[in-house]
């Protein structure tokens, strides 16, 4: 039996997606509760993750598991309805395989969205946040192991992990549309437990504004491969201990649902302005 390398698996997945959906210039990863945004695509085509060879399958409620392509404001766009998280048991090569596939298919801009807990005490549930930088407190890195030299260097720079131009463009769009947009540092912790109040105090002391269980491995791999990346969080709840009440996934989904129209308006404006 031949054992395929990771690079070969990426190529096979990319070929299947290209066959089903063609190519695209922009890719959007839709976080918890934001999957309905695929409805915005014109001339949409799609492929189920099950039908993409070597692709992982999403297991979380609110993450459906389909790869879409279509046009929006005259631009070709992929949308991933459902992402992979380390807490599901995937290794980070699997978690970030979609980003490699996007790079293989020539995507120039990746927009990562997520649901996050608000750590900054000036935030409120329902706020949207532009990710300006990240803290990786997971103890893991998706580039661990032999380097994929054809994608990027062994020691990639993370000074400008989140693209500055895309941030400026997003802030301008938000201002024009009168959408309040926080700017902050996203902290990745593995999950699946929500954090303890002590952990949240720690992340705040370290400079985090929001906390979540995704996105950072994808940012790292996007940057490694030289793809420009924008990150947007929906603050679905205040993080543990900020309010004297427990957290649950239903609340996260519900708030995601409440703000999805504003979120879409912002995303739409960004894609139009790209």
Q: How far is the CB of 234 from ligand HPA (least distance, A)?
A: 8
Beta carbon of residue 49, minimum distance to ligand HPA (angstroms, whole number)? 21
Closest approach of ligand HPA to the CB of residue 135, in Å:
13
Rg from Cα positions in the chain = 18
Residue 90 CB, shortest distance to ligand HPA, in Å, is 17
For 212-226, letters b (16+ CB in 10 Å) and e give: bbbbbbbbbbbbbbe
> Quick check: is 214 catalytic?
yes
Note the residues at the interface with ligand HPA (CB under 6 A): 115-117, 194-195, 211-213, 236-237, 239, 247, 252
The one catalytic residue in 214, 224, 233, 255 is 214
Q: State how far the Cα of 228 lies from the Cα of 140, in Å rounded to an integer.
A: 22
Residue 50, Cβ neighbours under 10 Å: how many?
9
Closest among 33, 31, 29 to 259, alpha carbons compared = 33
* Token pair for 32: 């918890």
**Residue (of 99, 113, 219, 91) closest to 157 by Cα position:** 219
| 32 catalytic residue (yes or no) | yes
Question: 156 or 241: whose CB is closer to ligand HPA?
Answer: 241
Annotation marks residue 224 as catalytic:
no
Residue at shortest CB range from ligand HPA: 117
Beta strand segments in 66-156, E: 66-72, 75-81, 109-118, 128-136
Nearer to ligand HPA, 5 or 190 (CB): 190
The answer to whether 87 is a known catalytic residue is yes
Residue 107 or 137: which CB sits closer to ligand HPA? 137
Per annotation, catalytic residue among 54, 87, 136, 257 = 87
Q: Is 73 a catalytic residue?
A: no
* Active site (catalytic) residues: 32, 63, 85, 87-88, 115, 213-214, 237, 249
């Amino acid at each position: 039996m031949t054992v395929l390398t990771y690079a070969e698996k990426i190529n096979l997945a990319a070929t299947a997606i290209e066959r089903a959906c063609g190519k695209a210039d922009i890719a959007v990863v839709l976080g918890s509760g934001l999957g309905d945004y695929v409805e915005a695509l014109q001339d949409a085509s799609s492929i189920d993750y099950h039908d993409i060879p070597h692709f992982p399958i999403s297991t979380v409620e609110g993450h459906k598991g389909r790869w879409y392509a279509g046009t929006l404001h005259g631009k070709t766009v992929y949308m991933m309805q459902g992402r992979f998280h380390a807490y599901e048991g995937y290794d980070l090569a699997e978690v970030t395989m979609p980003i490699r596939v996007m790079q293989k298919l020539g995507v120039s801009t990746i927009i990562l969205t997520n649901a996050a807990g608000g750590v900054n005490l000036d935030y409120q549930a329902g706020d949207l946040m532009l990710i300006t930088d990240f803290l990786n407190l997971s103890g893991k890195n998706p580039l661990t192991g032999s380097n994929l030299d054809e994608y990027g260097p062994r020691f990639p720079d993370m000074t400008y992990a989140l693209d500055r131009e895309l941030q400026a463009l997003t802030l301008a769009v938000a201002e024009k549309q009168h959408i309040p947009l926080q700017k902050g540092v996203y902290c990745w912790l593995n999950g699946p437990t929500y954090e303890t109040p002590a952990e949240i105090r720690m992340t705040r002391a370290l400079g985090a504004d929001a906390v979540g269980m995704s996105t950072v491995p994808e940012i790292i791999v996007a940057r490694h491969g030289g793809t420009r990346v924008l990150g947007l969080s929906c603050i679905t709840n205040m993080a543990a201990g900020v309010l004297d009440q427990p957290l649950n996934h239903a609340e996260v989904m519900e708030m995601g649902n409440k703000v999805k129209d504003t979120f879409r308006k912002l995303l739409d404006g960004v894609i139009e302005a790209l």
